[in-house]
Chains A and B, each alone.
Chain A
Amino acid sequence: MKNRLKVLRAERDWSQADLAVRLDVSRQAVNAIETGKHDPSLPLVFRISRLFEMPIEEIFHDEA
Protein backbone atom coordinates (compact mmCIF):
# COMPACT_ATOMS: atom_id res chain seq x y z
CA MET A 1 0.00 0.00 0.00
CA LYS A 2 1.45 3.36 -1.01
CA ASN A 3 1.28 6.40 1.24
CA ARG A 4 2.27 10.05 1.51
CA LEU A 5 3.58 9.80 5.03
CA LYS A 6 7.10 10.89 4.19
CA VAL A 7 5.89 13.96 2.31
CA LEU A 8 3.40 14.94 5.02
CA ARG A 9 6.05 14.48 7.68
CA ALA A 10 8.57 16.55 5.74
CA GLU A 11 5.99 19.36 5.27
CA ARG A 12 5.76 19.61 9.05
CA ASP A 13 9.54 19.30 9.45
CA TRP A 14 9.18 16.20 11.58
CA SER A 15 11.79 13.49 11.73
CA GLN A 16 10.77 9.83 11.72
CA ALA A 17 11.42 9.80 15.46
CA ASP A 18 9.13 12.83 15.97
CA LEU A 19 6.34 11.11 14.06
CA ALA A 20 6.97 7.84 15.91
CA VAL A 21 6.49 9.57 19.29
CA ARG A 22 3.28 11.22 18.10
CA LEU A 23 1.94 7.84 16.93
CA ASP A 24 3.31 5.92 19.92
CA VAL A 25 5.27 3.49 17.75
CA SER A 26 8.98 2.87 17.18
CA ARG A 27 10.98 4.79 14.58
CA GLN A 28 11.54 1.50 12.76
CA ALA A 29 7.74 1.16 12.43
CA VAL A 30 7.46 4.61 10.82
CA ASN A 31 10.32 3.75 8.48
CA ALA A 32 8.68 0.43 7.54
CA ILE A 33 5.34 2.15 6.81
CA GLU A 34 6.98 4.89 4.73
CA THR A 35 8.93 2.38 2.64
CA GLY A 36 5.90 0.14 2.16
CA LYS A 37 7.39 -2.78 4.10
CA HIS A 38 4.62 -2.70 6.70
CA ASP A 39 0.93 -2.08 6.09
CA PRO A 40 -0.40 -0.35 9.20
CA SER A 41 -3.44 -1.73 11.01
CA LEU A 42 -6.77 0.10 10.76
CA PRO A 43 -6.46 1.62 14.28
CA LEU A 44 -3.00 3.00 13.41
CA VAL A 45 -4.27 4.29 10.07
CA PHE A 46 -7.00 6.20 11.94
CA ARG A 47 -4.41 7.61 14.36
CA ILE A 48 -2.32 8.79 11.39
CA SER A 49 -5.38 10.30 9.77
CA ARG A 50 -6.29 12.20 12.96
CA LEU A 51 -2.72 13.37 13.47
CA PHE A 52 -2.44 14.87 9.99
CA GLU A 53 -6.10 15.99 10.05
CA MET A 54 -6.69 14.44 6.64
CA PRO A 55 -8.99 11.72 5.32
CA ILE A 56 -7.38 8.29 5.15
CA GLU A 57 -7.67 8.09 1.36
CA GLU A 58 -5.60 11.27 1.01
CA ILE A 59 -2.75 9.63 2.90
CA PHE A 60 -3.01 5.98 1.80
CA HIS A 61 -3.95 4.51 -1.54
CA ASP A 62 -3.68 1.00 -2.94
CA GLU A 63 -1.30 0.23 -5.76
CA ALA A 64 -3.95 -1.04 -8.20
Chain B
Amino acid sequence: MTKPEQETAETGRDNESLKRLGLGMLGGFALLFFPSFALGFTRARMDQGGLEAADYTILGVAALIAVVIGVTVWRLWPAPSTEPEAPRVKNSRIMIWLCMGVGALIGVLLVITDDAGNAILSNGTINPVVAGVVIAVWLIFVPIATVKWLRIVDEHEVEAYNNGAFIAGHAYLFIVPAWWMATRAGWLPAQDPMIVFILVCTIWSGVWFAKRYL
Protein backbone atom coordinates (compact mmCIF):
# COMPACT_ATOMS: atom_id res chain seq x y z
CA MET B 1 0.00 0.00 0.00
CA THR B 2 1.43 3.42 -0.95
CA LYS B 3 1.65 6.19 1.62
CA PRO B 4 -1.32 8.24 0.28
CA GLU B 5 -3.40 5.03 0.07
CA GLN B 6 -2.48 4.19 3.67
CA GLU B 7 -3.45 7.70 4.85
CA THR B 8 -6.77 7.47 2.99
CA ALA B 9 -7.43 4.07 4.59
CA GLU B 10 -6.64 5.47 8.05
CA THR B 11 -8.93 8.46 7.54
CA GLY B 12 -11.59 5.99 6.40
CA ARG B 13 -11.14 3.95 9.58
CA ASP B 14 -11.47 7.14 11.68
CA ASN B 15 -14.74 7.93 9.91
CA GLU B 16 -15.83 4.31 10.38
CA SER B 17 -15.21 4.51 14.14
CA LEU B 18 -17.22 7.73 14.35
CA LYS B 19 -19.98 6.23 12.22
CA ARG B 20 -20.11 3.14 14.43
CA LEU B 21 -20.30 5.29 17.57
CA GLY B 22 -22.97 7.58 16.14
CA LEU B 23 -25.08 4.68 14.93
CA GLY B 24 -24.59 2.87 18.25
CA MET B 25 -25.88 5.90 20.15
CA LEU B 26 -28.83 6.30 17.76
CA GLY B 27 -29.67 2.59 17.99
CA GLY B 28 -29.33 2.64 21.78
CA PHE B 29 -31.63 5.64 21.96
CA ALA B 30 -34.22 3.88 19.81
CA LEU B 31 -33.92 0.65 21.81
CA LEU B 32 -34.33 2.31 25.21
CA PHE B 33 -36.45 5.38 24.50
CA PHE B 34 -39.31 3.91 22.51
CA PRO B 35 -40.14 0.93 24.77
CA SER B 36 -39.98 3.32 27.76
CA PHE B 37 -42.23 5.79 25.97
CA ALA B 38 -44.69 3.05 24.97
CA LEU B 39 -44.82 1.65 28.49
CA GLY B 40 -45.16 5.05 30.18
CA PHE B 41 -47.76 6.24 27.67
CA THR B 42 -49.82 3.04 27.97
CA ARG B 43 -49.73 3.15 31.78
CA ALA B 44 -50.76 6.81 31.84
CA ARG B 45 -53.67 6.13 29.46
CA MET B 46 -54.75 3.05 31.44
CA ASP B 47 -54.83 5.19 34.60
CA GLN B 48 -57.03 7.66 32.75
CA GLY B 49 -59.55 4.99 31.77
CA GLY B 50 -57.99 2.96 28.94
CA LEU B 51 -56.53 3.25 25.47
CA GLU B 52 -58.48 4.91 22.68
CA ALA B 53 -58.12 4.55 18.92
CA ALA B 54 -55.88 7.65 18.69
CA ASP B 55 -53.59 6.19 21.36
CA TYR B 56 -53.03 3.05 19.27
CA THR B 57 -52.06 5.32 16.36
CA ILE B 58 -49.54 7.17 18.58
CA LEU B 59 -48.10 3.86 19.80
CA GLY B 60 -48.01 2.54 16.22
CA VAL B 61 -46.15 5.64 14.98
CA ALA B 62 -43.68 5.34 17.89
CA ALA B 63 -43.12 1.65 17.08
CA LEU B 64 -42.70 2.48 13.38
CA ILE B 65 -40.11 5.16 14.15
CA ALA B 66 -38.24 2.68 16.37
CA VAL B 67 -38.30 0.03 13.61
CA VAL B 68 -37.14 2.54 10.96
CA ILE B 69 -34.25 3.65 13.19
CA GLY B 70 -33.40 0.00 13.96
CA VAL B 71 -33.38 -1.01 10.28
CA THR B 72 -31.38 2.11 9.31
CA VAL B 73 -28.76 1.38 11.98
CA TRP B 74 -28.61 -2.28 10.88
CA ARG B 75 -28.14 -1.37 7.20
CA LEU B 76 -25.59 1.42 7.75
CA TRP B 77 -23.51 -0.44 10.37
CA PRO B 78 -19.94 -0.73 9.00
CA ALA B 79 -18.58 -4.20 8.33
CA PRO B 80 -16.28 -5.52 11.08
CA SER B 81 -12.79 -4.12 10.70
CA THR B 82 -10.06 -6.51 9.61
CA GLU B 83 -7.22 -4.32 10.86
CA PRO B 84 -5.01 -5.78 13.61
CA GLU B 85 -5.83 -4.82 17.17
CA ALA B 86 -3.88 -4.88 20.43
CA PRO B 87 -5.32 -7.40 22.92
CA ARG B 88 -6.21 -4.57 25.32
CA VAL B 89 -8.44 -2.99 22.65
CA LYS B 90 -10.38 -6.25 22.24
CA ASN B 91 -10.67 -6.68 26.02
CA SER B 92 -11.83 -3.10 26.42
CA ARG B 93 -14.56 -3.65 23.81
CA ILE B 94 -15.72 -6.81 25.60
CA MET B 95 -15.91 -4.86 28.88
CA ILE B 96 -17.89 -2.04 27.25
CA TRP B 97 -20.39 -4.49 25.70
CA LEU B 98 -20.73 -6.26 29.05
CA CYS B 99 -21.41 -2.98 30.87
CA MET B 100 -23.85 -1.86 28.16
CA GLY B 101 -25.68 -5.18 28.53
CA VAL B 102 -25.89 -4.80 32.32
CA GLY B 103 -27.01 -1.16 31.87
CA ALA B 104 -29.72 -2.16 29.41
CA LEU B 105 -30.95 -4.91 31.76
CA ILE B 106 -31.14 -2.44 34.66
CA GLY B 107 -32.94 0.07 32.42
CA VAL B 108 -35.55 -2.49 31.36
CA LEU B 109 -35.96 -3.69 34.97
CA LEU B 110 -36.53 -0.12 36.18
CA VAL B 111 -38.99 0.71 33.41
CA ILE B 112 -41.00 -2.47 34.01
CA THR B 113 -41.18 -2.13 37.79
CA ASP B 114 -41.45 1.65 38.19
CA ASP B 115 -44.99 2.80 38.96
CA ALA B 116 -44.64 5.84 36.70
CA GLY B 117 -43.07 3.89 33.83
CA ASN B 118 -40.16 6.30 33.60
CA ALA B 119 -36.86 4.65 34.46
CA ILE B 120 -34.27 7.33 35.05
CA LEU B 121 -36.10 10.54 35.85
CA SER B 122 -38.81 8.95 37.98
CA ASN B 123 -39.06 9.61 41.68
CA GLY B 124 -41.85 7.08 42.07
CA THR B 125 -41.74 4.18 44.49
CA ILE B 126 -39.91 1.07 43.44
CA ASN B 127 -39.98 -2.58 44.46
CA PRO B 128 -37.44 -3.03 47.34
CA VAL B 129 -36.04 -6.21 45.76
CA VAL B 130 -35.41 -4.42 42.45
CA ALA B 131 -33.93 -1.45 44.32
CA GLY B 132 -31.61 -3.82 46.23
CA VAL B 133 -30.44 -5.51 43.03
CA VAL B 134 -29.81 -2.18 41.26
CA ILE B 135 -27.98 -0.71 44.27
CA ALA B 136 -25.81 -3.85 44.55
CA VAL B 137 -24.96 -3.67 40.84
CA TRP B 138 -24.20 0.06 41.11
CA LEU B 139 -22.05 -0.24 44.24
CA ILE B 140 -20.28 -3.54 43.52
CA PHE B 141 -20.31 -4.39 39.80
CA VAL B 142 -19.86 -0.85 38.45
CA PRO B 143 -16.82 0.10 40.60
CA ILE B 144 -15.12 -3.25 39.89
CA ALA B 145 -15.87 -2.97 36.16
CA THR B 146 -14.62 0.65 36.11
CA VAL B 147 -11.31 -0.22 37.80
CA LYS B 148 -10.85 -3.27 35.55
CA TRP B 149 -11.64 -1.24 32.43
CA LEU B 150 -9.23 1.53 33.47
CA ARG B 151 -6.48 -1.09 33.84
CA ILE B 152 -7.24 -2.54 30.40
CA VAL B 153 -7.36 0.63 28.29
CA ASP B 154 -4.30 2.49 27.04
CA GLU B 155 -2.98 5.76 28.45
CA HIS B 156 -4.62 7.86 25.72
CA GLU B 157 -8.05 6.61 26.74
CA VAL B 158 -7.26 7.05 30.44
CA GLU B 159 -6.28 10.65 29.68
CA ALA B 160 -9.59 11.19 27.80
CA TYR B 161 -11.49 9.65 30.73
CA ASN B 162 -9.61 11.78 33.28
CA ASN B 163 -10.16 14.97 31.27
CA GLY B 164 -13.86 14.16 31.17
CA ALA B 165 -13.90 13.53 34.93
CA PHE B 166 -12.09 16.80 35.60
CA ILE B 167 -14.46 18.92 33.52
CA ALA B 168 -17.58 17.04 34.69
CA GLY B 169 -16.46 17.45 38.31
CA HIS B 170 -16.14 21.20 37.83
CA ALA B 171 -19.50 21.31 36.04
CA TYR B 172 -21.01 19.66 39.15
CA LEU B 173 -19.26 22.24 41.31
CA PHE B 174 -20.87 25.07 39.35
CA ILE B 175 -24.32 23.59 38.62
CA VAL B 176 -25.35 22.37 42.08
CA PRO B 177 -24.84 25.53 44.16
CA ALA B 178 -26.24 27.77 41.38
CA TRP B 179 -29.37 25.61 41.11
CA TRP B 180 -29.69 25.52 44.90
CA MET B 181 -29.58 29.32 45.06
CA ALA B 182 -32.00 29.65 42.15
CA THR B 183 -34.42 27.30 43.93
CA ARG B 184 -34.21 29.34 47.12
CA ALA B 185 -34.91 32.49 45.11
CA GLY B 186 -37.95 30.80 43.59
CA TRP B 187 -36.58 30.79 40.02
CA LEU B 188 -36.21 27.03 39.56
CA PRO B 189 -37.98 23.94 40.91
CA ALA B 190 -36.23 21.89 43.61
CA GLN B 191 -33.06 20.18 42.49
CA ASP B 192 -33.49 16.71 41.05
CA PRO B 193 -30.34 14.63 41.69
CA MET B 194 -30.94 12.48 38.62
CA ILE B 195 -31.05 15.52 36.30
CA VAL B 196 -27.72 16.69 37.74
CA PHE B 197 -26.39 13.12 37.42
CA ILE B 198 -27.39 12.93 33.75
CA LEU B 199 -25.94 16.38 33.04
CA VAL B 200 -22.62 15.44 34.66
CA CYS B 201 -22.52 12.06 32.85
CA THR B 202 -23.30 13.75 29.52
CA ILE B 203 -20.48 16.28 29.97
CA TRP B 204 -18.08 13.50 31.06
CA SER B 205 -18.96 11.30 28.08
CA GLY B 206 -18.85 14.24 25.66
CA VAL B 207 -15.34 15.25 26.73
CA TRP B 208 -14.16 11.61 26.67
CA PHE B 209 -15.59 11.20 23.15
CA ALA B 210 -14.01 14.42 21.86
CA LYS B 211 -10.60 13.63 23.35
CA ARG B 212 -10.65 10.04 22.17
CA TYR B 213 -12.00 10.35 18.65
CA LEU B 214 -11.79 13.97 17.37
Contacts and interface: CB of A to CB of B under 8 A. Distances in A.
A4 B162 CA distance: 27
B85 A21 contact: yes
Contact of A26 (B1, B10, B154): B154
Secondary structure at chain A's binding surface: helix, strand, loop or mixed? helix
A10 interface: yes
A38 B10 CA distance: 18
A15 B3 contact: no
A33 B50 CA distance: 60
Contacts of B84: 17-18, 20-21
B13 to A, nearest CB: 7
A17 B159 CA distance: 20
Nearest to A9: B6
Interface string A25-44: 11111011100001011001
A2 B193 CA distance: 44
A41 B92 CA distance: 20
Interface of B: 1, 3, 6, 9-10, 13-14, 17, 83-89, 92, 153-157, 159, 212-213
Interface of A: 10, 13, 15-18, 20-21, 23-29, 31-33, 38, 40-41, 44
